[in-house]
């Protein structure tokens, strides 16, 4: 009887040693690595209104247009930022110009202003002027109400050229009229 308990004890001891040897090798096979996360912030976007859309003198009842290619009168905005980065351009356009000083006070008379679906050019060279712009330098005949999101920042910046049309009424009050044109730009990718 003693012999059987000795055999059982030896078998149990061998099994326990084998398990310890296997468990020990598993514990030493672990390792740890540390990675990292990096980012480089690109140049901030800047937008400047370089030139107002200028209609000059207008006459009661006579509409007047300014072409986006007229260097002296077209509205010009300049965008600078990370070269070749994708940007979205949004224009908030007025429906009216209002008197800056009127008979009854500022804004007492309004003149209709309109923009058609080809009144905007986008020059991604950033070095041109409206009169010298060609389609190969960016996007031609864009709708200023819905500018394409495929626009990129050129290495020297991007210029936006804007034309439009005012229509004074036949009894339009004399004086200076003005309105804000707001250009908003945001990165959409690099």
Q: Where are the domains of the chain?
A: 46-189
State pLDDT tens for residues 86-114.
889 999 999 999 987 655 556 678 999 99
Please give the Cα distance from 17 to 179 (Å, whole number).
Answer: 90
State pLDDT tens for residues 10-55.
666 666 666 655 555 555 578 899 999 988 887 889 999 999 999 9
Beta strands in 12-73, from DSSP E residues, in sequence order = 46-51, 64-66
| pLDDT at residue 139 is higher than 70 | yes
Give residue for tokens 């949004």: 90
pTM: 0.77
Q: Closest by alpha carbon to 144, among 121, 169, 171, 111?
A: 121
- CA angle 148–81–137, rounded 5-degree value: 50
Could you tell me which CATH class the domain 46-189 is placed in? Answer: mainly beta
């Amino acid at each position: 009887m003693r012999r059987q308990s000795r055999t059982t004890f030896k078998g149990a001891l061998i099994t326990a040693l084998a398990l310890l040897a296997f468990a020990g090798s598993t514990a030493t096979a672990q390792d740890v690595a540390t990675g990292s996360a990096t980012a480089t912030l690109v140049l901030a976007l800047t937008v400047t209104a370089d030139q107002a859309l200028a209609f000059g003198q207008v006459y009661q009842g006579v509409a007047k247009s300014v072409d986006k290619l007229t260097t002296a009168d077209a509205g010009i905005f300049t965008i600078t930022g990370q070269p070749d980065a994708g940007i979205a351009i949004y224009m908030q356009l007025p429906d009216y110009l209002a008197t800056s000083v009127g008979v009854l006070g500022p804004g007492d008379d309004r003149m209709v202003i309109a923009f058609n679906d080809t009144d905007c050019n986008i020059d991604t060279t950033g070095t041109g002027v409206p009169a010298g712009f060609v389609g190969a330098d960016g996007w031609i005949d864009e709708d200023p109400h819905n500018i394409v999101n495929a626009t990129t920042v050129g290495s020297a910046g991007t210029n936006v050229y804007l034309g439009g049309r005012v229509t004074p009424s036949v009894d339009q009050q004399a004086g200076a009229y003005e309105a804000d044109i707001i250009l908003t730009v945001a990165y959409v990718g690099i």
